């Protein structure tokens, strides 16, 4: 293509500029890295955040709504669960009770401490007789 008075390179340059302005792309004749590919990427956060099923209305929520209209209902699964726990307890197969000592929560290492020699100097390993421990707060 020959345009009188303008060199071929300039014509191409101007054409590219025009093309970029028409299609609203970045005019970058020196091929610099302008990071535009980052801006072109779509945000994938919403898609990723929707992976796990969100909490919706539960049976308890529905029962709470029922109460407003003086309606009554029951959660069958929950009642079956509680019933089976009762049966297990009657058979002596229930969950063990949480152990408590006079000082509060029972730690397995309380037993170990009794065997430790008193002259061990590390602070956490010093021997404290169970009767002298602070009572009150857990």
Partner 1 sequence: MAAAFRAKKLDLGGFINVKIIRDHTKRKVFEQFEPQRQALRYIIRNTSLPQRMRTQAQLQLSQMSCYTRPTQIKNRCTMGGVGKGVLRAFRMGRFQFRMNALEGNLPGVKKASW
Binding site for partner 1 (CB under 8 A): 32-39, 41, 43-46, 48-49, 51-56, 58
Residue 35 C-beta: closest distance to partner 1, Å: 3
Residue 13 C-beta: closest distance to partner 1, Å: 19
45/129 with CB nearer partner 1: 45
Residue 50 C-beta: closest distance to partner 1, Å: 8
46/92 with CB nearer partner 1: 46
Beta bridge partners of residue 101, listed in sequence order: 104
Host H or E run for residue 86? helix 76-90
55/134 with CB nearer partner 1: 55
Beta carbons within 10 angstroms of residue 60's beta carbon? 10
24/132 with CB nearer partner 1: 24
Quote the radius of gyration of the chain (alpha carbons, Å): 38
Helix (H, G, I), strand (E, B) or coil at 134: coil
38/95 with CB nearer partner 1: 38
Query: Which residue, among 129, 74, 7, has the nearest Cα to 82 in the 3D structure?
Result: 74
Sequence-separated (6 or more) residues with CB below 8 Å from residue 14: none
Residue 62 C-beta: closest distance to partner 1, Å: 14
Structure tokens at 15: 């054409």
Residue 40 C-beta: closest distance to partner 1, Å: 10
């Amino acid at each position: 293509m020959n345009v009188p008075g303008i060199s071929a390179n300039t014509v191409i340059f101007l054409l590219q500029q025009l093309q970029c302005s028409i299609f609203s792309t970045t005019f970058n004749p020196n091929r610099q890295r302008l990071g535009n590919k980052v801006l072109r990427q779509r945000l994938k956060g919403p898609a990723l955040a929707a992976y796990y099923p969100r909490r919706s209305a539960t049976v308890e929520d529905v029962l709470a709504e029922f109460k407003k209209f003086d309606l009554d209902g029951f959660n069958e699964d929950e009642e079956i669960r509680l019933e089976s726990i009762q049966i297990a307890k009657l058979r002596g197969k229930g969950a063990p009770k949480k152990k408590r000592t006079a000082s509060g929560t029972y730690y397995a290492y309380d037993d170990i401490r009794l065997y430790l020699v008193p002259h061990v100097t590390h602070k956490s390993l010093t021997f404290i007789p169970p009767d002298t421990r602070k009572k009150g707060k857990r």
